[in-house]
């Protein structure tokens, strides 16, 4: 098959790496790829929101399958556009716009969960003209306060504040001052739930589904979950505190009701469902939905899938998902993100990256996130630069290998968290 993969981050590098192993793959096209994907396929300079250009590229290169990595084109309706096109006949891994709204609007997601009795935190939603109502609503909760931008904010639109004064400042910045590029024109205020977070993933055609390996990611920029939220500073898989009881509750109370709820509302869904969960006592609650794989979770779950990923995608889009046999590797994986100084705020680009040849001796993978090649040099091109995935017979060994990779890669101002996975090890 000729495949077009949309996206240029660590998630997409991991997907490209896995697709490249498939016996079904004829050619892989990457739009636009990064400094680590050049040896996996053909780079295509495409704007992911310019659907006619993508359509023309599909026609020119006889693309049979499109895999959409990031959320923005899904929320904008790329699956609708391509599936309704009279110029191309292509399969799309990713939901239509109606399904993608579970991530595109946190308010929509919360109302969906309410309609289908899916456990989540109590909430209220407010627009710019409802600032006073939003402030008053804070009094219905005890601090800390959870305030979320309704729209897409690259994984950074969640603020947890310890005081009402700070919460009011956050509300003003979102509702009145254009924080998160306007994603906060509407906000969701949630009750704070105290527990352990975990990510679970399903791939579904709207009827059948397969559960992928679970993971735990680390959003805060600093050790001990300190500092600002980021797109993700690391992840581990498997997660020791996911007991059989918890997984069974999640399946019956959240995953199955979500898929059935989408079908009941006549919302077609072909792609990934990301469940950001929190374990409170022994019970699961939904923190958020995503309409695609997470990053950096993808970098730990795909290395644990033994089955052919392209075969999975083909069956998914052909209505044959139930016939696919998903085989998972028992070995553990850990990812440590190497980031640029200043991230998640402003940071410098175009810094040369030096990777010691000894990385090839370590059990793991170097996935590129924010990199590019120029004149045979590898340069930084983003806040999160590399996702360093270690493998091991157990999580302790996998984490050790992640950090061994990190020590062999250098660029000016590089930093990483030093405590990825330590809380999971303590629970093991």
**Is the separation of the CB atoms in 14 and 75 below 8 Å?**
no
Residue 96, pLDDT score: 98
**Is the separation of the CB atoms in 102 and 291 below 8 Å?**
yes
- In order of their start, the domains of the chain are 2-96 (3.40.50.20), 122-190 (3.30.1490.20)
**Is the separation of the CB atoms in 186 and 125 below 8 Å?**
yes
Measure the CA–CA gap between 165 and 153, rounded to whole angstroms. 23
Bond preceding residue 144 cis, omega within 30 of 0: yes
Question: In which residue ranges of the chain is pLDDT below 70?
Answer: 155, 428
Phi and psi of 151, rounded to 5°? -90, -170
Q: Which pTM value belongs to this model?
A: 0.95
User: What would you measure as the largest C-alpha separation in the chain, in angstroms?
Assistant: 59
**Is the separation of the CB atoms in 82 and 52 below 8 Å?**
no
Query: For the segment 230-283, what is each residue's pLDDT rounded down to a tens digit?
Result: 999 999 999 988 999 999 999 999 999 999 999 999 999 999 999 999 999 999
Residue 176, pLDDT score: 84
Bond preceding residue 238 cis, omega within 30 of 0: yes
Q: Do strands 409-410 and 371-374 pair parallel, antiparallel, or not at all (unpaired)?
A: unpaired
Measure the CA–CA gap between 69 and 186, rounded to whole angstroms. 26
User: How many other C-beta atoms can be found within 10 angstroms of the C-beta atom of residue 206?
Assistant: 18
SS3 98: helix
Residue 282, pLDDT score: 92
Measure the CA–CA gap between 285 and 192, rounded to whole angstroms. 11
Measure the CA–CA gap between 328 and 180, rounded to whole angstroms. 37
**Is the separation of the CB atoms in 235 and 304 below 8 Å?**
no
Task: Provide DSSP, 199-263.
Answer: EEEEEESSS-EEEPPPBEE--EEEGGGEEEE-S-SEEEES-TT--HHHHHHHIIIIIHHHHHHHH
**Tokens standing for residue 424:** 């999971």
Residue 177, pLDDT score: 83
Burial class (CB in 10 A: 0-12, 13-18, 19+), 59: middle
**Is the separation of the CB atoms in 409 and 339 below 8 Å?**
no
Sign of CA dihedral 283, 277, 113, 267: negative
Residue 428, pLDDT score: 65
């Amino acid at each position: 098959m000729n495949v077009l993969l949309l996206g240029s981050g660590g998630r997409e590098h991991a997907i490209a790496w896995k697709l490249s192993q498939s016996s079904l793959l004829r050619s892989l096209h990457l739009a636009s790829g990064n400094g680590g994907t050049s040896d996996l396929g053909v780079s295509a300079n495409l704007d992911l929101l310019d659907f006619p250009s993508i359509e023309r590229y599909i026609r020119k290169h006889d693309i049979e399958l499109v895999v959409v990595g990031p959320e923005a084109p899904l929320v904008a309706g790329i699956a609708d556009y391509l599936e309704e096109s009279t110029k191309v006949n292509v399969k799309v891994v990713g939901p239509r716009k109606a399904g993608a709204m579970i991530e595109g609007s946190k308010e929509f997601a919360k109302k969906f969960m309410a309609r289908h009795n899916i456990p989540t935190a109590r909430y209220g939603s407010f627009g710019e003209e409802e600032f006073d109502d939003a402030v008053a609503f804070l009094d219905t909760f005890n601090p800390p306060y959870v305030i979320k931008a309704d729209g897409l904010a690259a994984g950074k639109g969640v603020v947890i504040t310890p005081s009402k004064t700070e919460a009011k400042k956050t509300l003003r910045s979102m509702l009145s001052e254009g924080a998160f590029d306007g994603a906060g024109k509407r906000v969701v205020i949630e009750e704070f739930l105290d527990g352990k977070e975990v990510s679970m993933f399903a791939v579904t055609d709207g009827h059948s589904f397969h559960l992928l390996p679970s993971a735990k990611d680390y959003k805060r920029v600093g050790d001990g979950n300190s500092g600002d939220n980021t797109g993700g500073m690391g992840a581990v898989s498997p997660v020791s505190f996911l007991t059989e009881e918890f997984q069974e509750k999640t399946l019956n109370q959240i995953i199955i009701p979500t898929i059935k709820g989408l079908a009941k509302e006549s919302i077609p869904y072909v792609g990934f469902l990301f469940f950001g969960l929190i374990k409170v006592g022994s019970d699961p609650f939904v923190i958020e939905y995503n309409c695609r794989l997470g990053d950096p979770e993808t970098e730990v779950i795909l290395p644990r899938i033994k089955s052919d990923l392209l075969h999975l995608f083909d069956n998914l889009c052909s209505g044959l998902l139930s016939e696919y046999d998903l085989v998972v590797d028992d070995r553990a994986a850990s990812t440590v993100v190497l980031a640029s100084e200043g991230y998640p705020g402003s940071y410098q680009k175009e810094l040369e990256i030096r990777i010691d040849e000894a990385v090839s001796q370590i059990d793991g993978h170097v996935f590129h996130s924010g990199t590019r090649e120029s004149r045979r040099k590898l340069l930084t091109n983003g806040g999160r630069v590399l996702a360093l995935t270690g493998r091991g017979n157990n999580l302790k060994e996998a984490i050790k290998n992640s950090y061994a990779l990190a020590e062999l890669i250098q660029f000016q101002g590089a930093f990483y968290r030093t405590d990825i996975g330590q809380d999971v090890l303590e629970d093991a």
